[in-house]
A and B are shown apart, each in its own frame.
Chain A
Amino acid sequence: MLTIAEVDHVALLSRLDLSAEEKKLYGDQLSKILEYAKMLDELDTGDVPPTAHVLPLKNVYREDRVGDHLPLEKAMQNAPERDGNFFKVPRIV
């Protein structure tokens, strides 16, 4: 069973600001799902390699050459706030 402190910790890592009701709800539901996932302990996976990806591809590189790039105005068209050619954000420090 996840404690409220654990839920708080995961919420902070997730950058989510949860209400008290949400913490309770997610705490309960995640506990139930993680309990269900415990069935994986039945499997002996000692010698089994992990599969992160099904294709036999590795390190796909392109040639280091300048191509067509998004024009600056298009790249910034969705900026919530901008200052010239910069994305503007609230105070950091």
Chain B
Amino acid sequence: MDLFYMTAHELHGKLTAGEISAGELCRAFLDRLGSVEERLQAFITVTEEMALKQAGEVDKRIAAGEKLPPLAGIPIAVKDNMCLDGVRTTCASKILYNFVPPYSATVVEKIKAAGMVILGKTNMDEFAMGSSTENSGFQITSNPWDTERVPGGSSGGSAVSVAAGETVLALGSDTGGSIRQPASLCGVVGMKPTYGAVSRYGLVAFASSLDQIGPFARDVADCAQLLNVITGHDPLDSTSAPGEKTDYTAFLNRDIKGLKVGVPREYMGEGIDPGVRKEIEEALKVLSSLGADIEEATLPHSRYAIPVYYLIATAEASSNLARYDGVKYGLRDEDAQDIVDMYMKSRSRGFGTEVKRRIMLGTYALSAGYYDAYYLKALKARTLIKQDFDRALDRFDVLVCPTSPGTAFRKGEKTDDPLQMYLSDITTISVNLAGIPGISVPAGFSGGLPVGMQIMGRPFDEGTLIRVAHAFEGSAGHRGRFPSL
């Protein structure tokens, strides 16, 4: 098999056996990246020099006879909304085109401390606002399974980089499905951990009560390893949850006999593409054959999730994005007459269409006279959505549904109608509103395009998600198919 489609655990074996050096591995991935990137446009910045230096340090540790940690020397890509000290971090926005962070995000410090080799910063929808990566201020990323189609979003670059063998692992962020949906559309594993499980320090804020960083991987075992590295309490993030660290690899290779699986009927009916539904029904048969008890579940307030999400997320965004004013960093309009003129011109030139639309919507929802009717109403409806999940997860160990109602759509297909684009997030956004973890695992193909199955669980019970996903992956036989590039 091609080196660039191997998993981290396979490559770790090669590194420790001395079959390949970390430097050679890094070079192999940089070469692969160089040969496919023109067609895919997954990276905004490639950090070649830094990557080779990090790999060289791992080789020194090998030469010194050190026992390598599981992800040392393994290439990783980072979504361009996480700060990396000294490397341009743009959020795919023109307003941050020249921003070089003076510090690194906690997750970046953690992957470095694990000896991982950072290959670069990946493309995304501007400020993570979008479901197709078409809202990037710089470039359009292509789906490696069909380059006429979108990779999903907003972490499209990270999903593509893993799916196309440009890297082994990647980090993304998920505010309403931005890890799980592109993972589904690109045929890789992607997880949004519980809100508070991973530090957001150094992650550029979009909607602070919903944002969460998580892993992209080729398989569930790799996902568990990366989760081990990035989770844990961080005093620099006041919403980071205190608690003991969990070893998620302990949940691999466990059976799921007697596990209670609920299938929310609202996520299997109207609006779900028949080809997608068929693959998920097949996946449920696999879970059943492994001894899980499958029953229908209900989340009665599901239909309200879209308006609730788009009111809360945009309100928080309008506040978070007020910091881009051209004063301390980022784009500044040089022709402004006075300071307010400078704010208005810098922001209007720097932000793209979708970002302006969301700032406008959020500002409206928070403005005098509309706060109660829109924002407060949405916060109350959020409680009802969360209670639906509390009740369902009282009865079931996990809930299962399609990650996305359809497969990868064509570029430009949904860009003219923002509401249609928002509706493509229906199965993922409630998970952010409830703050629970969700994972997308490959569950077959429909019309030659990948389909993902989403598994949702109780807060801080990522272990059970890993357990179910790994058992499923081992029996479903969807591994071993790669895009031809």
Binds A, one of B19-27, B96-104, B397-405, B442-450: B96-104
Interface size range on A against B: 35 or more
Contact check, A48 vs B339: say whether CB atoms are below 8 A apart: no
Identify which of B137-145, B371-379, B471-479 touches chain A.
B371-379
Does A20 interact with chain B (Cβ within 8 Å)?
no
Q: Is the CB of B348 within 8 A of A50?
A: no
Q: Give the distance to chain B from A45, nearest Cβ to Cβ, in Å.
A: 4
In the complex formed, the residue of B with least CB distance to A80 is B332
Question: CB-CB < 8 A to A79: which residues of B?
Answer: 328-329
Return chain B residues, CB-CB under 8 Å to A90: 336-339, 341-342
Q: Are B239 and A57 in contact (CB under 8 A)?
A: yes
List the B side residues contacting A43 at CB < 8 Å.
301, 304, 377, 380-381, 384
Measured between alpha carbons, how far is A40 from B325 in the docked complex, in Å? 34
**Does residue B285 face the partner (Cβ distance < 8 Å to A)?**
no
B376 touching A53, Cβ below 8 Å: no
Interface residues of B in 205-226 (CB under 8 A from A): 209
Q: Are B304 and A87 in contact (CB under 8 A)?
A: no
Note all chain A residues with C-beta closer than 8 A to B434: 54
Q: Which of A14, A22, A36 contacts B419 (CB 8 A)?
A: A36
Given contacts A53-B209, A55-B239, contact A75 B102 (CB under 8 A): yes
Chain B residues, CB < 8 A from A36: 306-307, 419
- Given the known interface contacts A40-B381, A92-B338, the answer about A30 and B327 at a Cβ–Cβ threshold of 8 Å is no
- List the 10 shortest-distance A-B pairs measured between CB atoms, nearest first: A54-B435, A78-B329, A50-B379, A74-B102, A45-B380, A80-B332, A37-B307, A60-B238, A17-B344, A17-B348
Decide: A16 near B307, CB < 8 A? Known: A30-B364, A57-B239, A77-B102: no
Q: What separation, in Å, do the CA atoms of A9 and B307 have in the docked complex?
A: 23
Shortest beta-carbon distance from A60 to chain B in Å:
4
Binding site for A on B (CB under 8 A): 98-100, 102-103, 195-196, 209, 235, 238-239, 241, 301, 303-304, 306-308, 310-311, 318, 322, 325-332, 336-345, 347-348, 351, 356-357, 359-361, 363-364, 367, 374, 376-384, 386, 418-419, 422, 434-435, 459
Given contacts A48-B384, A50-B383, A55-B196, contact A14 B318 (CB under 8 A): yes
Rounded to whole angstroms, the CA-CA distance of A7 and B367 in the bound complex is: 12
Instruction: Report Cα–Cα, A17/B348, bound state, in Å.
Output: 6
Shortest Cβ gap from A19 to chain B (Å):
9
Q: Closest chain A residue to B370 by CB distance?
A: A34
Contact yes or no, B103 A62, CB < 8 A: no
* Contact sample, A vs B, 24 pairs, CB 8 Å cutoff: A10-B363, A11-B360, A15-B325, A15-B344, A16-B344, A16-B348, A16-B359, A16-B360, A17-B344, A26-B356, A33-B310, A34-B364, A37-B310, A39-B304, A40-B307, A40-B308, A45-B383, A48-B383, A53-B239, A55-B241, A70-B102, A78-B100, A90-B338, A90-B339
Q: What's the minimum C-beta distance from A34 to chain B, rounded to whole angstroms?
A: 8
Question: In the complex, which of the residues B241, B356, B380 contacts A49, with contact meaning CB atoms closer than 8 Å?
Answer: B380
Interchain CB contact (< 8 A) of A40 among B195, B329, B357, B378? B378
CA distance A15 to B301 in the complex (A): 35
The answer to whether A24 has its CB under 8 Å from any CB of chain B is no
| A89 in contact (CB, < 8 A) | yes
Residue of B98, B303, B329, B384 near A39 (CB, 8 A) is B303
Binary flags per residue of A56-77, CB closer than 8 Å to B gives 1, else 0 = 0100101000000010001101
Instruction: Name the one of A51, A52, A89 contacting B339, with C-beta atoms under 8 angstroms.
Output: A89
Contact A50 B360 (CB under 8 A): no
Residue of B nearest to A48 (CB): B380
